[in-house]
Structure 1
Amino acid sequence: MSEPTTDERPPIAAAVIINDGQVLLVRRRVKEGQLSWQFPAGEVEAGESGEEAAIRETKEETGLTVRATGNLGERVHPNTGRTMLYAACEVVEGTAYVADEEELAEVAWCDRATLTANVPYPFFGPVQEHLDANLR
Structure 2
Amino acid sequence: MTDQGVDSRPRISAAVVVQRGRVLMVRRRIAEGSLSWQFPAGKIESGESPEGAAVRETLEEAGLCVAAVRSLGERVHPDTHRHMSYIACEVVSGTAHVADRDEVAEVTWCAHSEILAYVPAGLFPPVQEYLDGVLPR
> Which TM-score applies when normalising by structure 1?
0.95
**Contact 2:25–2:108, Cα closer than 8 Å, also in 1:** yes
Give per-residue Cα distances to partners, 1:23-45, cap 9 Å, x unaligned: 00000000000000000000000
**Quick one: which amino acid aligns to residue 60 of structure 1?**
E
What is the match of residue 53 of structure 1? 53
Q: How does 1:39-118 map to 2 (within 5 A)?
A: 39-118=39-118
The residue type paired with residue 38 of structure 2 is: Q
Deviation at 1:112, TM superposition (A): 1.1
Per the TM alignment, residue 122 of structure 1 is displaced from its structure 2 partner at its CA by 2.0
Q: Secondary structure at the match of 1:126?
A: helix
Question: Structure 2 vs 1, CA of residues 72 and 4 (structure 1 numbering), >3 Å: closer, same or farther?
Answer: farther
SS in 2 for 1:52: helix
Residues paired across the two proteins, number: 134
C-alpha RMSD of the superposition: 1.2
Task: Work out the CA distance in 2 between the residues paired with 1:24 and 1:115.
Answer: 10
Match of 2:35 in 1: 35
1:13-28 equivalences in 2 (<5 Å): 13-28=13-28
Aligned residue for 1:10, secondary structure, equals coil
SS of the residue 2:132 aligns to? helix
Residue 4 of structure 1: how far off its partner (Å): 6.9
